[in-house]
A and B are shown apart, each in its own frame.
Chain A
Amino acid sequence: MTAIPETVLAPEILCELRHVDKEFDQAHGPPLRVLQDISLAIRPNEVVALLGPSGSGKSTVLRILAGLTQPTRGEVLYHGEPLHGLSPGVGFVFQSFALYPWMTVLQNIEAMLEAQGLAREEVAERATRAVRVVGLAGFEEAYPRELSGGMKQRVGMARAFSLEPEMLFMDEPFSQVDALTAESLRAQVLDVWSPRDRNPKSIVMVSHDIKEVVYMADRIVVLDANPGRVRTVVEHGLPRPRDYRSPELLQLVDHLHDIITGMAMPDAAAEGVAAPRVFEPLPHAGAVEIEGLLEYLDARGGREDVFRIAADTDREYGRVITATNGAELLGFVETPHRTVVLSSEGARYVKASPAERKGLFREKLLELLLFEEIRQALERSETHRVDRDFVLELIALNLPNEDFERVFHTFVNWSRFGDLFSYDGKTRTVALH
């Protein structure tokens, strides 16, 4: 074994979160907790990825580290000191590019440098260098609206690089860029990062793309949703440049798949003592999506790997898992490990006529406690109507950790699809259909 470099023995920490909670106020009801007890340290010379489905608050983590948002509880440190206001060493790349449409490519970059109070000559020199690094030479005078998504993100990267920041933060940087362009942008980012003696020292990126994360990062922080928590940290030292087809990389992808499904699609506990019936949290999946999933499975022999479905349908895996959870809640699928299997009920549903489908869906809905309670309330009510607020309160009371507006949205969507209850947006009442 060769001598271990000193930096690894006593790793200096660039920035750090300690037991951070973040809550957002809601219009009514208790504040919604989006992050819970997040602790995370960024060390020099590493690429860290935050991986999680939407709703896991991963962008919020990035914004707290950058000092754009303040945590509700917990500490934010920068080089060991508490961070006040904006972090001094951060370049930020946005998912939406966030380029000022009224400025040319060059002006967009120069404005940042000018605001730092640099001399005119240095502003021009640094901007030109940044433009050249990302391969934008020749596009200096173009306006953002004339550029493709990939070119726009190059401007976003040049803008971040031009400041020569200690850390580069990227919020889903390639999710709005076509796949091939994203490939070249990933390589470019790593090129700029790799010289040890130059900034940026470290990269923190947010992503929901497992392959991207494995290709880019040395350390992968897997987040769980509602509220966002750190589930696991996967650290690996795969050598660079990495090959997507190398067995090590594929194995890592597989490992991550297991972690995610173990967290988002837990295998049901063995049925023993009848647990008291509780309100089931409704996953935020549209009924049509669920039906689509059943059709998809039916056309593929009734079973498929959940990540395969995501890749096939070109959707974020989080969305597919949500739809799967919805289908499972209704009893249309089972999810042994990471496979989604059409249940006998599901198979019956796919074969049924449109009218029978409605009936089956309705039947399944009434097996859920929320729908059952609402039905009883409607039967008790003289007008056979209940207010939206009544339903919201029922949800908030029984599912305190959920975003109750969203649960209500799903409730209405499923009720309408199953032809069970109708909802009148004007009077804001739910009625028996």
Chain B
Amino acid sequence: MTRRATQVFGSATAFLVRTRGNAWVDVALLAALGGAVFGLTRLAQEWTGALRPVFEIDLSPWALPGYAFLSLSRGLAAYALSLLFTLAYGYWAARDRVAEKVLIPALDILQSIPVLGFMPGLVLALVAAFPRSNTGLELASVIMIFTGQAWNMTFSFYHSLRSVPHDFQEVATLGRFGWWQRFRWVEMPSAAIGLVWNSMMSMAGGWFFLMVSEAFVLGDRSFQLPGLGSYMSVAVARGDRGAMVAAVAAMTLMIVALDQLFWRPVVVWAQKFRMDESGQAPEMRSWFLELLRGSRLVPWLARGARAAARRVERRRRKRRGAAVRPKASGRGLGVLSAAAFVGLVVLLAFGSLGLVRLLVRVPAAGWHGLGVASLLTLGRVLLATAIGTLWTVPVGLAIGLSPRLSRVLQPIVQVVASFPAPMLFPAVVALLAAAGMGLGWGSILLMLLGTQWYILFNVMAGAMSIPADLREAARIYRVGTWQRFRILYLPAVFPFLVTGWVTAAGGAWNASIVAEYVSFKGRELSADGLGSRISTAAARGDFPLLAAAIVVMAVMVVLFNRLVWRRLHHVAEERFSLAR
């Protein structure tokens, strides 16, 4: 009797609790929606506002949320652009065997061009295109961030599409899936997890360029966009310590919020696209996703969207007749692809022609100087990577091998890794100046600031993936600490270390542009190197030299990738992979 009562009341109260919870979630969601609409109107005002090369930045902490919102909107707009680019370019490259032969090498080259090298030309062109409004400058900033985000996402998507299991393809063929069904049911799900992880990485990398692209000097013109980056640079220029700390805090908060409210839920949701069959993968949770799942609004909207999609599909099918004819649409796509391919080749040809015209104007002495400078920067990049490795390997191992430490520290390292290093440059430069260290060595420290985290992160991941039985074997046979390093830990994390090196070195090359040439308290500090050559050429408006410097850097990066990293990667796969 009592049991029945509790059952009845139990379910009744549960019902109450659930509705109350739902209502709160939905109210919050509606409020957020309202906020987003308000924000978008503000954004529209900002974009269409008159071009003000130097913006009056308000250093009061109350202005920070507004600036953070503007910066966030740029990051998200760039991400949306990257995603669109990734889907289109990756799909095209994976589906069209001829285009693939041009698209993939082109992507490889694009990836190795220093992002910051794009900036001057891009800004001047876009500002010229929109002389009256802020649109040009905003677009330039978004595209800059895009160039820092898109490539690795595209590579990941392309590789996922190319490695969809053969069986899955055969089922789709036998089921006569149209291209859209194949994309939605087979290809997109297969690529989802890789795309999500790379998106997270890209977004983190994007903040680096956001900071730089919001405030900079080109020739005699200085450009500024209202945002966290410009707030910070004004705070530094005025020496306002409080504002600097507030800006760093706002940036951190923004990264954490984006992680908790956006990436975390997406990562957890994407777990349903896991390929491995075992059910024992560590369960991942997101409080925000659970909250959303308690909402009534979201499923209601989703149902509506699904019904609408079905209606559209049915209408389309009626128009085309009942039978599905994939052949016809296939031919249409083929024509489209061929046209786009020709367009791309023409564009590439024009681009290279223009580049050659610029490059022939560089005197021999200029090339010689660039050669010397590139060796200097190469040395700095390697030193930064080496120093980064020296401290991150023991620390990363210590964290990764201890489940307790890694649980606590992994999210923190993740936030630190996403934090844009250029924001901290002024503080570090001040310390360097106080210690009497020049930028020649100091720039190594600045590079390190942004790139060491990639190595640390990868070493941690490697340490966590060492199988328990290998560690137990080392313990049972009483292998000493040093020997354990040599025979177990280092080989096991080596493949991860290589991945970390590739990312860190790529980041260091990019960072050299801002690290070898720093404005500090109205003075320009610089150290000779390829990065500072790019910066000074941009500042002086010397476009032939700028183009030459960028080409040299791209060549250095490509050569280094081919000759060193790729070989190390091969060794790692052949000898140290634990996957087999």
- B and A form one assembly: yes
Instruction: Determine whether A182 belongs to the interface, using a CB cutoff of 8 Å to chain B.
Output: no
Chain B residues whose CB sits within 8 angstroms of the CB of A146 once the complex forms: 279
Among candidates A96, A98, A120, A145, residue contacting B310 with C-beta atoms closer than 8 Å? A120
**Contact (A111, B185) CB under 8 Å given A92-B174, A98-B168:** yes
CA–CA, A68 and B167, complex, Å = 11
- Are the C-beta atoms of B178 and A115 separated by less than 8 Å? yes
Among B229-237, B270-278, B541-549, the one that faces the other chain is: B270-278
Chain A nearest Cβ from B310, distance in angstroms: 7
Q: A101-B275, A143-B272 are in contact. Are A66 and B174 (CB under 8 A)?
A: yes
Q: Please determine whether B170 and A117 come into contact, CB atoms closer than 8 angstroms.
A: no
Confirm or deny: B90 has a beta carbon within 8 angstroms of a beta carbon on chain A.
no
In the complex, B476 has a CB within 8 A of chain A: no
Residues in A neighbouring B272, C-beta threshold 8 A: 102, 143
B170 touching A92, Cβ below 8 Å: yes
Asked whether any CB of chain B lies closer than 8 Å to the CB of A90, the reply is yes
What is the total of A-B residue contacts with beta carbons within 8 Å? 67
B177 touches A102 (CB 8 A): no
Q: With A68-B170, A100-B185, A102-B272 given, is the CB distance from A115 to B324 under 8 Å?
A: yes
Chain B nearest CB, measured from A327 CB (Å): 28
List residues 158-180 of chain B with CB under 8 A from any CB of chain A: 165, 167-168, 170-171, 173-178
Between A66, A96, A100, A103, the greatest number of chain B beta carbons within 10 A of the residue's beta carbon is seen for A100
Decide: A101 near B167, CB < 8 A? Known: A111-B175, A111-B185, A116-B324.
Answer: no
Contacting residues, chain B, for A90 (C-beta < 8 A) = 174
Q: Is there a chain A Cβ closer than 8 Å to B186's Cβ?
A: yes
Pick the contact of B322: A86, A115, A117 (CB < 8 A): A117
Q: Which residues of B contact A114 (CB under 8 A)?
A: 181
| Contact code string B256-282 (vs A, CB < 8 Å = 1, else 0) | 000000000000000011111111000
Choose one: A96, A100, A143, A425; the contact of B189 (CB below 8 Å).
A100
A115 touches B177 (CB 8 A): yes
Chain B residue nearest to A160 in the complex (CB)? B174
Say whether, besides A101-B275, A102-B272, A94 and B189 are in contact (CB < 8 Å): no
A63 to B276: give the CA distance in the assembly, Å: 26
Q: Write the nearest CB–CB distance from B99 to chain A, whole angstroms.
A: 22
User: Could you say which of A90, A101, A103, A114 has the most chain B C-beta atoms within 10 Å of its C-beta?
Assistant: A101
Query: B173: which of A68, A91, A425 is its contact (CB, 8 Å)?
Result: A68
Distance A122 CA – B258 CA, assembled complex (angstroms):
43
Max chain B C-beta neighbours (<10 A), residue from A91, A96, A102, A146: A102
Interface residue B317 (Cβ < 8 Å from any Cβ of A): yes
Which chain A residue shows the least CB distance to B272? A102
Q: Does B323 contact A (CB under 8 A)?
A: yes
With both chains docked as a complex, state the minimum distance between the C-beta of B241 and any C-beta of chain A, in angstroms. 51
CB distance from B387 to the nearest CB of A (A): 31
Give complex CA distance A91, B171 in Å.
10
Q: What's the least CB distance linking B558 to chain A, in Å?
A: 26
- Quick one: given A86-B176, A90-B174, A111-B175, are A100 and B310 in contact (CB under 8 Å)? no
A418 contacts the other chain (CB 8 A)? no
Complex Cα gap A103–B167 (Å): 15
Q: Which A residues lie within 8 Å of B277 (CB)?
A: 101, 144-145
- Chain A residues near B322 (CB, 8 Å)? 117
Residues of B within 8 A of A100 (CB): 168, 171, 185-186, 189
Among B171, B275, B276: residue with most chain A CB under 10 A: B171
Q: Contact between B171 and A94 (Cβ–Cβ < 8 Å)?
A: yes
**How extensive is the interface on chain B, given as a class?**
20 to 34
Q: Is the CB of A94 within 8 A of B185?
A: no
Interchain CA distance A120-B323 in the complex, whole Å: 15
Instruction: List which A106-158 residues lie within 8 A (CB) of chain B.
Output: 111-112, 114-117, 120, 143-146
CA distance A103 to B184 in the complex (A): 12
Inter-chain CA distance A90–B171, complex, in Å, is 11
Indicate which residue in B165, B174, B278 contacts A86 across the interface (CB closer than 8 Å): B174
Question: How distant is the Cα of A54 from the Cα of B578 in the complex, in angstroms?
Answer: 29
Closest B residue to A66 by beta carbon equals B174
* Chain A contacts for B317, CB-based, 8 A: 117
Cα–Cα distance between A92 and B174 once the two chains are bound (Å): 8
Query: CA separation between A115 and B277, bound complex, in Å?
Result: 25
Q: Which of B565-579 contact A (CB under 8 A)?
A: 574
- List chain B residues, Cβ under 8 A from A143: 272
Question: Roughly how many angstroms separate A116 CA and B177 CA in the complex, as a whole number?
Answer: 8
- Contact B273 A102, beta carbon cutoff 8 Å: yes
For the complex formed, measure the closest distance between the CB of B277 and the CB atoms of chain A, giving whole angstroms: 5
Among A94, A103, A111, max chain B CB count under 10 A is at A111
User: Chain A residue with minimal CB distance to B184?
Assistant: A111
Q: Give chain A residues whose Cβ lies under 8 Å from the Cβ of B279.
A: 145-146
Q: Contacts of A101 on B, CB cut-off 8 Å?
A: 273-275, 277
Within 8 Å CB of B273, what residues of A? 101-102
Q: Give the residues from 250 to 307 in chain B that come closer than 8 angstroms, CB to CB, to chain A.
A: 272-279
Complex Cα distance, B324 from A68, in Å, reads 18
- Indicate the member of A90, A91, A92 with the most B CB atoms within 10 Å: A92
Out of A92, A102, A116, name the residue touching B176 (CB < 8 Å). Answer: A116
| CB pair A117 B323 closer than 8 Å | yes
Q: Chain B residues near A117 (CB, 8 Å)?
A: 317, 322-324
Interface residues of B in 290-337 (CB under 8 A from A): 310, 317, 322-324
Specify the chain A residue showing the minimal Cβ separation from B275.
A101
Q: Are B185 and A103 in contact (CB-based, < 8 A)?
A: yes
Q: CB-nearest residue of chain A relative to B177?
A: A115
**In whole angstroms, how far apart are the Cα atoms of A66 and B170 in the complex?**
11
Q: Which residue of A lies closest to B317 (CB)?
A: A117
Which chain B residues (181-227) contact chain A, with CB distance < 8 Å?
A: 181, 185-186, 189, 192
* Distance (whole angstroms) from the CB of A85 to the closest CB of chain B: 8
Residues in chain A near residue B167, CB distance under 8 A = 94, 96, 98
Bound form: Cα–Cα A115–B177 in Å: 5
Please name all residues of chain A whose beta carbon is closer than 8 Å to the beta carbon of B173 when the two chains form the complex.
Answer: 68, 86
In angstroms, Cα B175 to Cα A96, docked, is 17
Chain A nearest Cβ from B481, distance in angstroms: 30
Contact of A98 with B170 in the complex, beta carbons under 8 Å: yes
Q: Are B274 and A145 in contact (CB under 8 A)?
A: yes
CA distance A120 to B168 in the complex (A): 24
The smallest C-beta distance from A147 to any residue of chain B, in angstroms, reads 9
Report the minimal beta-carbon distance from B445 to chain A, rounded to whole angstroms.
39
Q: Are A94 and B170 in contact (CB under 8 A)?
A: yes
Q: Could you tell me the distance between the alpha carbons of A114 and B171 in the complex, rounded to whole angstroms?
A: 14
Interface centre among B167, B178, B574 (most CB of A within 10 A): B167
Query: Are B171 and A115 within 8 A (Cβ)?
Result: no
| Bound-state Cα–Cα, A120 to B170, Å | 24
For A92, list chain B residues within 8 Å (CB). Answer: 170-171, 174
Q: Which residue of B lies closest to A165 (CB)?
A: B174
Taking the nearest CB of chain B, how far is it from the CB of A149, in angstroms?
10
Which A residues are in CB contact (< 8 Å) with B165? 98
For chain A, residues 60 to 109, give those with C-beta under 8 angstroms from any C-beta of chain B.
Answer: 63, 66, 68, 86, 90-92, 94, 96, 98, 100-103
Q: Are B181 and A111 in contact (CB under 8 A)?
A: yes
Q: Which residue of A lies closest to B189 (CB)?
A: A102
Q: Which residues of B contact A91 (CB under 8 A)?
A: 174
The answer on a CB contact under 8 Å between B174 and A68 is yes
* Chain A residues within 8 Å of B324, by CB: 115-117
Central interface residue in B174, B185, B317, B324, by most chain A CB within 10 Å: B174
- B281 nearest in chain A by CB position: A145
> Separation in Å of the B161 CB from the closest CB of chain A?
15
Question: A117-B324, A145-B277, A145-B279 are contacts. A112–B189 as well, Cβ < 8 Å?
Answer: no
B175 touches A115 (CB 8 A): yes
Given pairs A102-B189, A114-B181, 9 additional interface contacts (CB within 8 A)? A68-B174, A98-B165, A101-B275, A102-B192, A102-B272, A102-B274, A103-B185, A115-B177, A145-B277
Spell out A's residues near B (CB within 8 Å): 63, 66, 68, 86, 90-92, 94, 96, 98, 100-103, 111-112, 114-117, 120, 143-146, 425
The 9 closest A-B pairs by CB, nearest first: A98-B167, A102-B189, A112-B175, A102-B273, A115-B175, A115-B177, A117-B324, A98-B171, A145-B277
Complex A-B: 8 CB contacts under 8 Å? A68-B170, A91-B174, A96-B167, A98-B170, A100-B171, A102-B272, A115-B175, A143-B272
